[in-house]
Amino acid sequence: MDEYGNTGEGRATRRDEAVRAAVEQGLLGPDSPIVGLLDVTGIRESAAELRAAFAEVTAPGTPVLHAFAVKATPLVPVLRLLREEGIGAEVASPGELALARAAGLSPAETVLDSPAKTPAELREALALGIAVNADNPQELDRIDGLVRSAVSRSPLGIRVNPQVGGGSIGATSTATATSKFGVALRDEGAREWVVRAYLDRPWLSRLHAHTGSQGIPLSLMTQGVAETYALAEEINRRIGRPQIDTIDIGGGLPVNFASDVTAPTYAEYARALREAVPGLFDGRYGLVTEFGRSLLAKHGTIVARVEYAKSAGGRAVAVTHAGVQVATRTVYVPGSWPLRITAYDGKGRPKSGPEVVQDVAGPACFAGDLLAEGRALPLLDQGDYAAALDTGAYYFAHHYAYNSLARPGIYGFVPDRAGGARFATVRDPQTLASIVAESGGAHAGALTTLHAPGSR
Ligand SMILES: *Cc1c(COP(=O)(O)O)cnc(C)c1O
């Protein structure tokens, strides 16, 4: 149970009803054997919890922008829904910026943070007035040139890496000593360089850090924010005025993949921050947050039909349509990214019966394409459905085109009044024509027209 007395039961009930309704309404079936489902009610709840958590700890009137890390769920309707819930966008590529703009997000609701921004991207961001955090001294040089040549309303800052250390997953630990992100603050001379950068540039008004994602303990995230705050205080003291007026604390709240309960909560994190860094919330600084996974993960479900149920070497194996193409991290690094799997029968009803240790396999042509290995579940039969839970962030929205497997359709749902669900299309299933087009179909003869000199 979380601190709101929430056991996640509502979430599980909505999910079960949506799976059954998806089968009844034909979104799922023999000819559409995999879908991604998004729980609109749950997304709205998480957005509201985020806003309330920071409203509780900030001084009245403090400007706070919650910018959803678009990479977590790069889907235009999701960005639009979040915008309606008062959430902006953190973008890290021209594609993500285009998605945010397509969703109707304004420059004032958008923050650009990528580690490899080209001059053209920087110019566009400054022309639009989008907030930019410079990753490194070379990028700051480029921004200098743009600021000299044109007036921009963009709030500008520098991203620092407080180098407080990593968490349990190396790939998502951004504050290690050698992380590729930001200015490594504890390196020799780096802190002084950052202070000078602000002293020399009265227009630098923000400071940014993102200490890591899944696997980082709250204490380490809090420490990263505390060090960033201490640096902002030092810079403002040295300059003699509050030049830094906004601190961007990044995202990274970990997600509980072990049950339907939200843990930790935004409220717990916000209170831990207030405890550790009270000055951050006394009204002298505006705040930007950049949560991704924690806003969406628990609201997504992949549901896949069991095409065949077989047995090999005494192990039951359900061959489903969900594997590496929709759960790439889980399949390649199962130890770090285990997913809960639930079993539904052919009508989409939760399956009961004795648990059997089995493999839940995907459709891709390599042996390791397993959603779950040796998992105890009611035995999956041909025509049943397996659901991979908590996949609303960094899963089905991040298609991996192995075996030219089609991107599944994604549907948002809300409960109806009759124990079922109503759906809206978020993303159409990919067509075969689109797979061919994306695979060079328009250039079919291209390579046969090239001949090395003298070869013919
Ligand atoms: C990935 C990322 C985020 C979001 O991280 P989550 O763990 O999904 O909350 C926020 N800010 C930056 C700069 C990122 O790279």
- Measure 316 CA to ligand 1 centroid, in angstroms: 38
Residue 21: is its pLDDT beyond 90?
yes
Mutate to test the pocket of ligand 1, among 183, 213, 248, 398 (most ligand atoms within 8 A of CB): 213
Q: What is the DSSP letter of 4?
A: T
- Tell whether ligand 1 has an atom less than 6 A from the beta carbon of residue 135: no
With CA atoms as reference, report the closest residue to 396 among 304, 260, 267, 272.
Answer: 304
Domain count, the chain: 2
For residue 331, what is the enclosing H or E element? helix 328-332
Give the pLDDT score at 65: 98
3-state secondary structure (DSSP) of residue 404: helix
- Tell whether ligand 1 has an atom less than 6 A from the beta carbon of residue 210: yes
- Tell whether ligand 1 has an atom less than 6 A from the beta carbon of residue 16: no
My answer on whether 286 and 419 are in the same domain is no
Instruction: Give percent of the chain with pLDDT exceeding 70.
Output: 98
Give the pLDDT score at 3: 58
My answer on whether 263 and 346 are in the same domain is no
**Residues 96 and 74: beta-carbon distance below 8 Å:** yes
Q: Are strands 421-427 and 341-344 parallel, antiparallel or unpaired?
A: unpaired
Give the pLDDT score at 5: 60
Give the pLDDT score at 362: 98
Does some domain include residue 456? no
Q: Residue 225, Cα to own-chain centre: how many angstroms? A: 20
Q: Which residue is closest in CA terms to ligand 1's atom 15? A: 210
- Tell whether ligand 1 has an atom less than 6 A from the beta carbon of residue 362: no
pLDDT tens for 97-142 read 999 999 999 999 999 999 999 999 999 999 999 999 999 999 999 9
> 238 or 5: whose pLDDT is higher?
238
C-alpha 375/C-alpha 372 separation (Å) is 6
Does some domain include residue 24? no
**Residues 298 and 85: beta-carbon distance below 8 Å:** no
- Residue where a domain stops, chosen among 251, 268, 295: 295
Give the pLDDT score at 44: 98
C-alpha 363/C-alpha 435 separation (Å) is 17
Give the pLDDT score at 456: 66
My answer on whether 219 and 128 are in the same domain is yes
Range of the domain at 410: 298-436
C-alpha 7/C-alpha 11 separation (Å) is 9
Does some domain include residue 20? no
Does some domain include residue 454? no
Residue 1: is its pLDDT beyond 80?
no
My answer on whether 266 and 364 are in the same domain is no
pTM attached to this predicted model: 0.96
pLDDT tens for 363-411 read 999 999 999 999 999 999 999 999 999 999 999 999 999 999 999 999 9
My answer on whether 318 and 199 are in the same domain is no
For the record, the structure tokens of 172 come out as 């998502």
What's the CATH code of the domain at 126?
Answer: 3.20.20.10
My answer on whether 72 and 175 are in the same domain is yes
My answer on whether 248 and 376 are in the same domain is no
Instruction: Count the alpha carbons within 13 Å of 434 in the hemisphere toward its beta carbon.
Output: 9
- Measure 154 CA to ligand 1 centroid, in angstroms: 21
Which residues lie below 8 Å from residue 253, measured CB to CB, with a gap of 6+? 221, 264, 266, 269, 291, 293, 294
pLDDT tens for 140-182 read 999 999 999 988 899 999 999 998 888 888 888 888 888 899 9
Which residue in the block uniquely carries the two structure tokens 């705050």?
A: 229
